[in-house]
Structure 1
Amino acid sequence: MLIVAVSLGTAFSVSELLPYVSPERRMRSSRLKREDDVHRSLVGEMLARMFAMGIEGLRNDEIRFEQGVFGKPRLSGMREPWDYNLSHSGKWVAGIVSRKGQRVGIDIQKMAAVDLLQARYSLSAEEMEHYHTLLHPDAQMHYFYDLWTRKESYLKMEGIGLSVPNRAVFSEQYALKYEQSLLSDQLPDHGFRQYPIDPGYVLTACSTDFRFPEQSLVVRAKDLAEVFLRRCREQEETACNRRDEVTVP
């Protein structure tokens, strides 16, 4: 399993990257008005493509993605069972990948003050009861985002996303006990792991594989873009040389 956190604090050339992402991503990027949104979108696709090239040994131009029933992306026609997931918030993009048929999900959130309506929408009755016992706003905020990212990473691991309301996750009607979800990072069929990449953010990974890495790999967006572009251009050069060898009489 690999967990990568990409910092968007460094600029990279969008125009250089666009030829190496999907037409859908290029179209989506052209519609985004904020530069940060464009960067988050491109970094997410770069991570997914790097995962596919590393595991499947594909050239970048061979990679095609599809979506599951509830929208979780996956590689088309993968040769071995592996799973990946992406998340972004603020100045970070996070990715997780696991092999050997293990499922993964990840969620990162920038923490901010939580209003009561947001808490009621996201937390179950039991969770709200505990939320109100925390008298300090910082304690409430950390509790809220701890649970929020656990729920989101779990739903994304399962590939069911918004089809289940957050307040139902970990409640009795959704098969997981509240006490377990809060007090344990290891449940019978999946586990959680949090990574402290930034004091203002919560990053939680969820997987059916309990062998979480001790640390996440933290990289700059500029460095990721340079590695990705170099690999794509090397692949293009290799493919071009092979075509030249075939055409030589």
Structure 2
Amino acid sequence: MHIIAVSLGTAFSVHELLAHVSPERRMSSSRLKREDDVRRALIGDILARMFAMDIEGMRNDEIRFDKGVFGKPRLSTMREPWDYNISHSGKWVAGIVSRKGQRVGIDIQKMAAVNPAFARYSLSAEEMEQYQNLKPEAQTRYYYDLWTRKESYLKMEGIGLTNPIRSVFSKQYVLKYEQSMLSDRLPDHAFRQYPVDPGYVLTACSTDFRFPDQYLVVRAKDLAEVFLRRCRAQAEQSAPELNGLPVL
């Protein structure tokens, strides 16, 4: 299992990267009004492509993505069963890739003041009671701890928000949440949080309990440069051989 956090704080060429993604991604990017949204979505796509190239040994122009029944992105063809997931918020894009046969989900969120309506929407009655009993400065962290855990679990399962998020987990989970803030275990999956940025919460969920102690942090500019170098090298390798024939 590998976890990667990509910082968007550095400039990179959106136009150059768009030439190496799918027509669907280019179309969806053209519909986004904010440049930050375009950059986050594009880097998420590039990160998924790098996973496919590294694990499957695929050329970039061979990579095709589709979606599961409830919309979880996946690689269309793969030799071995592996899973990945991407999340982005604010200035960060996070990705996770699994070991063989394991499922993963990840969620990163920039912390902000919690809207009471959002708290009522996303917390169960038991969680809401505990939330209200906390001091104001602790409420925000508690809310985003739970929100990212619920989101990462739903994304791992590939069911998105098809279930009411307030119903995810149960009284049992609230008790386990009190036992450990960093690496909770339920019978069939586990969570791990990583301190990527003081203003963000990053939570990973997996059926594999062997989370890495370290995660990789890279700059978007560096990721883009490595990806573009690979695409150029692949294009050169696929150029037709002239076999000594004169060039017309």
TM over 0.5: yes
> Which amino acid in the other structure matches residue 142 of structure 2?
Y
Are the aligned partners of 1:147 and 1:182 in contact in 2 as well (CA < 8 Å)? no
Tell me what 2:131 maps to: 131
**Which stretches in structure 2 are left out of the alignment for 5+ residues?**
none
Q: CA deviation at 1:180?
A: 2.3
Q: CA deviation at 1:33?
A: 1.8
Match of residue 244, structure 1, among 236, 241, 246: 241
> Which amino acid in the other structure matches residue 123 of structure 2?
L
> Which amino acid in the other structure matches residue 63 of structure 1?
I
Alignment of 1:12-91 (within 5 A): 12-91=12-91
CA distance in 1, matches of 2:187, 2:3: 22
Alignment CA distance shift 1:230-1:182 (3 Å)? farther
Tell me what 2:140 maps to: 141
Identity of aligned residues (%): 76
Tell me what 1:211 maps to: 210
> Which amino acid in the other structure matches residue 111 of structure 1?
M
> Which amino acid in the other structure matches residue 83 of structure 1?
D
SS at match of 2:44: helix
**Which stretches in structure 1 are left out of the alignment for 5+ residues?**
none
Q: TM-score, normalised by structure 1?
A: 0.94
Q: CA deviation at 1:246?
A: 7.1
Tell me what 2:176 maps to: 180
SS at match of 1:161: coil
Q: CA deviation at 1:28?
A: 1.1
Tell me what 2:110 maps to: 110
Tell me what 2:164 maps to: 165
CA distance in 2, matches of 1:58, 1:13: 23
Render the CA deviation track for 1:76-110: whole Å, top value 9, x for unaligned.
12111000001010110100001211000000000
Are the aligned partners of 1:104 and 1:207 in contact in 2 as well (CA < 8 Å)? yes
Q: TM-score, normalised by structure 2?
A: 0.94
Q: CA deviation at 1:247?
A: 9.0
Tell me what 1:192 maps to: 191
CA distance in 2, matches of 1:186, 1:15: 43
Q: CA deviation at 1:224?
A: 0.4
Root-mean-square deviation over aligned CA pairs: 1.5
Alignment CA distance shift 1:229-1:180 (3 Å)? same
Alignment CA distance shift 1:199-1:99 (3 Å)? same
More helix by share: 1
Whether 1:5 aligns to 2:1 is no
CA distance in 1, matches of 2:7, 2:16: 19
- Paired positions, count: 243
Whether 1:226 aligns to 2:225 is yes
CA distance in 2, matches of 1:89, 1:248: 53
Alignment CA distance shift 1:247-1:104 (3 Å)? farther
> Which amino acid in the other structure matches residue 86 of structure 1?
I
